[in-house]
Amino acid sequence: MADSAWASKPSLTERVGQLYLAHREEVLRFLTGQGVPPATAQDITQEAFLKLLVALRDGHHINFEQAWLYRVAANRAVDYWRRERRLNMVEFDATGNTLSETLESSEIGLDERAAQEQRSRRLADQIRNLSKEHRMCILLRSQGMRYREIASVLGVGVSTAAEWLEAAIERLRGGIHD
């Protein structure tokens, strides 16, 4: 009995290691998107994966491991902001390394580039002004999560997560075209 329990630990550790390699960067981006400093985001990310390993080792059944990791990370981010007791102001760099810059064509003129940068700034402003729930929905969806996974992370029903995401998208659409 003890030998079979010991034999299952390496496969469990390997499984969490694979999840770590697959999702570490996504969880870090999620946390920094919530305004958590990079060093703290790294600590929280490692803690989330460690908690996953412990939970699985203790026999907890976790349906969506990725969503579970985001939920733990989101809760730790909330704890961080409570400890800091300061306003969570997230800055989005609208002029930094955007996708449009990395894929820039030589045919794009200065006017088009200026228009793209203006749209990016408006989008960044709109994201900054979203409620925490809506901003988290957008960030999680941008990570490729499905509605049920987003709902699991946020601790709400699937219909609520879908409504929040739809409202956030509509607000962003309206802000960009204004």
pLDDT, tens digit (0-9, with 9 covering 90-100), for 19-31: 999 999 999 988 9
Beta-carbon contacts of 147 under 8 Å, excluding residues fewer than 6 positions away, are: 158, 161, 162, 165
In whole angstroms, what is the distance from residue 42 CA to residue 98 CA?
23
Count of domains observed in the chain: 2
Residue that finishes a domain, picked among 55, 84, 113: 84
Please say whether the beta carbons of 45 and 73 come within 8 A.
yes
Residues 55 and 117 grouped into a single domain: no
Side chain identity, residue 72: V
| Gap between the Cα atoms of 67 and 12, Å rounded | 18
Question: Are 74 and 103 contained in the same domain?
Answer: no
| Contact present, 115 and 123 (Cβ < 8 Å) | no
Tell me the per-residue pLDDT of 91-134, one tens digit each, with 9 for 90 and over. Answer: 555 554 444 444 444 556 677 778 778 877 877 778 888 888 89
pLDDT above 80: residue 168: yes
Taking phi over 0 as left and psi of -120 to 50 as alpha, with beta for the rest, 105 belongs to beta
Please check whether residue 92 lies inside any domain of the structure. Answer: no
131 falls within a domain: yes
